[in-house]
Amino acid sequence: MKNKNLVSITDFTKEEYLRILELAAEFEENPRQDILNGHVISTLFFEPSTRTRLSFESAINGLGGRVIGFSDSGATSASKGETLHDTIKMVSNYADLIVMRHPLEGSAKLASEVSSVPIVNAGDGANQHPTQTLLDMYSIQKTQGNLENLKIFMVGDLKYGRTVHSLLMAMSEFNTTFYFFSPNELKMPDTYKIHLDNKGLDYFEGKELGEILTEADIIYMTRVQQERFTDPIEYERVKNAYVLRRSMLEGTRERMKVLHPLPRVNEIHPDVDESPHAYYFEQARNGVFVRMAIISAILGLK
Ligand code: CP
């Protein structure tokens, strides 16, 4: 993985996913290692973030590295009209690796084509969020014991939700059966369903969450992505299409976990938080160890 970009989850192989998860477990066991001493990592966030930026920065600081970057592009020369091309050219002079989030699909790929240092995509529009996927896989492996032959329910905004797109691509390497629940307007795009067809994997599409939840190993809830809608009336119509409540989890498998990349809005009622099935806060914590693993693997330090 040394010097590789992580723009799309498919930039890594199945063996590389498993190596990242192994490294993450090592970092969880022993998070205080000084291996980034002398390294500078840049975090460029052109779009808001809490977990991704802070867990990357926590990972870098924990390993003894230095962070430069911004969380508000309005305070940078982008606000004077500097192009992404030029910003990345400049920052790659100042850092050993760049972590970037940007609202435009394809922006991370463009950055990887002009940067002299590796680019890690921290989310590009509705396209991909590969580091989230690796932490989701780590969370799935930790709670289910393995990644093979699982039933994963994806619920909510499957059209604009970049986390479900990346997760589907990665978990399609592990004989997963997918169940999609979304409003008509927010269905999983055909390109991902064609990918599953080509892999010979089963998937089911539905509208009503009900008794079928008893089949699930993982329920992956997602937020309806208000910022991707051009029509606010359409957002209002679908924003509360799915609200998971604790009572709906009765009869589900003992080991079943509810995941969510967060932030949540209304789609998981707070009464789920105390359920043994709730795992979304631990999932976010796992992000620190997984991001330690990603950075150290790409920099060739592990
Ligand atoms: N999961 C995730 O990407 O969260 P943030 O938007 O807070 O980074």
Give the model's pLDDT for residue 228: 75
CA of 55 from ligand 1 middle (Å) equals: 10
Q: Which residues contact 252 (CB under 8 A, 6 or more apart)?
A: 213, 214, 216, 219, 277
The pLDDT of residue 23 is 98
d(CA 253, CA 213): 9
Q: How far apart are CA 46 and CA 239, in angstroms?
A: 24
Ligand 1 binding pocket mutation candidate from 43, 46, 47, 51 (most atoms within 8 A of CB)? 51
pLDDT at 114: 97
Tell me: the pLDDT tens digits for 20-34?
999 999 999 999 899
Mean pLDDT of 274-289: 98
Is the minimum distance from the CB of 188 to ligand 1 under 6 angstroms?
no
Q: Which atom of ligand 1 is nearest to the CA of 50?
A: 7
Active site amino acids: 51-52, 80, 101, 129
Is 176 close to ligand 1, i.e. is its CB under 6 Å away?
A: no
pLDDT, position 244: 96
Best probe residue, ligand 1, of 45, 46, 47, 50 (max atoms within 8 Å of C-beta): 50
Say what the pLDDT of residue 284 is: 98
Distance between CA 108 and CA 301 in Å, rounded?
A: 23
CA pair distance 3, 299, nearest whole angstrom: 6
Neighbours of 121 (CB within 10 A): 29
Instruction: Look at ligand 1, atom 6, and give the residue with the nearest C-alpha.
Output: 49
Best residue among 43, 45, 49, 267 to mutate for probing ligand 1's pocket (most ligand atoms within 8 Å of CB) is 49
Distance between CA 223 and CA 260 in Å, rounded?
8
Cα–ligand 1 centroid distance for 174 (angstroms): 25
Ligand 1: residue whose CA is nearest its atom 1? 261
Structure tokens at 193: 């369903």
Over residues 188-193, the mean pLDDT reads 97
Q: What is the mean pLDDT of residues 199-217?
A: 93
- Residue 234: the pLDDT is 80
Residues of the chain above pLDDT 70, percent: 100
Give the tens place of pLDDT for each residue, 141-183: 999 999 999 999 999 999 989 999 999 999 999 999 999 999 9
Which ranges of 30-183 does DSSP label H, i.e. alpha helix?
51-62, 84-91, 107-114, 130-144, 162-171
3-state secondary structure of 276: coil
Taking the centre of ligand 1 as the mean of its atom positions, its distance from the CA of residue 200, in whole angstroms, is 31
The finding on whether 51 has its CB within 6 A of some atom of ligand 1 is yes
Atom of ligand 1 nearest to the CA of 47: 6
Q: Is the CB of 259 under 6 A from ligand 1?
A: no
Per-residue confidence (pLDDT) for residue 210, from 0 to 100: 84
Q: What is the per-residue pLDDT for 230?
A: 80
Average pLDDT value for the chain: 95
pLDDT tens digits for range 217-275: 999 999 987 877 788 888 788 788 899 999 999 999 999 999 999 999 999 999 999 99
Contact predicate 189/159, CB 8 Å: yes
First-residue to last-residue Cα distance in the chain: 10
Determine the Cα–Cα distance for residues 296 and 174; give it in Å rounded to an integer: 25
Give the pLDDT confidence score for residue 174 in this predicted structure. 98
Cα 157 to Cα 181: distance, rounded to the nearest angstrom: 9
Q: What pLDDT does 27 receive?
A: 98
DSSP designation for 188: P
262 lines ligand 1 (CB under 6 A): yes
Residues 58-103 have pLDDT tens digits of 999 999 999 999 999 988 999 999 999 999 999 999 999 999 999 9
The per-residue pLDDT for 233 is: 84
d(CA 251, CA 241): 22
Residue 43: CB within 6 Å of ligand 1? no
Q: Which amino acid is at 99?
A: V
User: What pLDDT is recorded for position 126?
Assistant: 87
The dihedral formed by the CA atoms of 49, 141, 273 and 58, expressed in degrees to the nearest 10: -30
Position 187 scores a pLDDT of: 94
Arithmetic mean of pLDDT, 117-135 = 96
**CA angle, 99 then 102 then 108, to 5°:** 60
65: part of which helix (H) or strand (E)?
none
Q: Tell me the C-alpha distance between 284 and 89, whole Å.
A: 31
The pLDDT score that the predictor gives to residue 250 is 96
- The atom of ligand 1 lying closest to the CA of 261 is 1
Bigger pLDDT: 210 vs 45: 45
